[in-house]
A = this chain, B = another copy of it.
């Protein structure tokens, strides 16, 4: 009787404690304490999933599924580097907790979207949309809608598609209106009532844009004509001016296998390195005058042209049929010093924060490569499902992302 009572008592107590204990243990066991400064997100485009990786130890930590159409996707990070916001092609924003490897929130905010950004204070997420066009602002914690900003109506009566969205200092965003030949700067200091500064007639069909690393300049590439449109946000009253008039497809309409990403531009030393369109060339421009000062011959049509964080060398990947190769340019001599053939369909490159390694995604070989930038040796290969973009959490503290 006493034994039975004891057993009952134990069971009662155990029942009482079990959930608490399980909760406590599960909370600890599933989420070991760790810093978040060296994490990363790899887009697995075909499966709608992302891998969470650790770039200090070159290892995969987890896979998070259910993110929808990631055929074109980009990622920004919360200031604490705990959360990744994944912008999918299908217009959804997915908020992923990198510590628990959970999809904590998902908002379908448009039917076709091309990316987004996070405000300098980390409180506002901005999404740029193709269909319907315009920009939407969301609370970074809850993903609640704060404001919907229609873009200038295009010629067809539809809101303009929005491209090139980038964060600027002071809770601002810059972007271009493809159908309205316009660059806008949005001030999200009061995110429910954003202020818009508009610059019209900046050139035909801006198709992408980028901000400089200090968030001062915004540059839009033009699809409808040669040249680029530059806004110096320190001197916004002076308006937008045209630079690099020779930049574009030119009179000889060469076949362009893949429009280069302007986000692949790089400032290295005193120069900007940018992918020529349709040509087997990387162009070098002075980052003060924006005049072209040199051309570097490369083996194919460049897509991403990315400087190591120290700016000493620039890495280039290519459009089909040369997308199995990567070339490395020495910045002072402007010579190609290395050609690598790391895998089929190298879609993206991402450097560790201080440049000791570069990660490459090889979509058609279903792998990630971690390459030592000092020796060019492959330090590690990791399996991945048709990987495309790679985004490291050190972006959390950078501008123009």
Contacts and interface: CB of A to CB of B under 8 A. Distances in A.
Contacts of A17: 17, 21
Interface string A293-332: 0000000000000001111100000000000000000011
Interface in A203-227: 214-216
A308 B399 CA distance: 12
Contacts of A352: 79, 121
A381 interface: no
A310 B215 contact: yes
Contact of A77 (B2, B27, B37, B214): B37
Contacts of A108: none
Contacts of A34: 80, 82, 99
Nearest to A120: B354
Interface in A71-117: 77-83, 98-100
A234 B332 contact: yes
A230 to B, nearest CB: 15
Contacts of A189: 374
A335 interface: no
Interface stretch (A145-153, A154-162, A272-280, A389-397): A389-397
Interface in A30-68: 31, 33-39, 55-56
Contact of A309 (B36, B56, B169): B169
Interface stretch (A5-13, A126-134, A191-199, A252-260): A5-13
A336 interface: no
A342 interface: no
B37 A393 contact: yes
A47 to B, nearest CB: 26
Contacts of A37: 36-37, 77-82, 393, 396-397
Interface of A is mostly: loop
A99 B356 CA distance: 26
A23 B207 CA distance: 56
Nearest to A8: B6
A288 interface: yes
Given A79-B56, A170-B310, A5 B9 contact: yes
A270 interface: yes
A146 B215 CA distance: 40
A344 interface: no
Interface in A241-291: 269-270, 288
Interface in A156-190: 167-171, 189
A35 B99 contact: yes
Most buried by B among A9, A82, A332, A394: A9
Nearest to A287: B270
A20 interface: yes
Given A5-B5, A10-B13, A216 B21 contact: no
A310 B6 contact: no
Nearest to A77: B37
Contact of A288 (B5, B100, B170, B270): B270
A200 interface: no
A36 B81 contact: yes
Contact of A21 (B20, B77, B100): B20
A354 B121 contact: yes
B355 A310 contact: no
16 contacts: A1-B2, A13-B13, A21-B24, A24-B25, A33-B33, A56-B80, A81-B81, A170-B355, A170-B374, A214-B311, A216-B311, A216-B312, A234-B312, A353-B397, A354-B397, A354-B399
Interface of A: 1-2, 5-10, 13-14, 17, 20-21, 24-25, 27-28, 31, 33-39, 55-56, 77-83, 98-100, 120-122, 167-171, 189, 214-216, 234-235, 269-270, 288, 308-312, 331-332, 352-356, 374, 393-394, 396-399
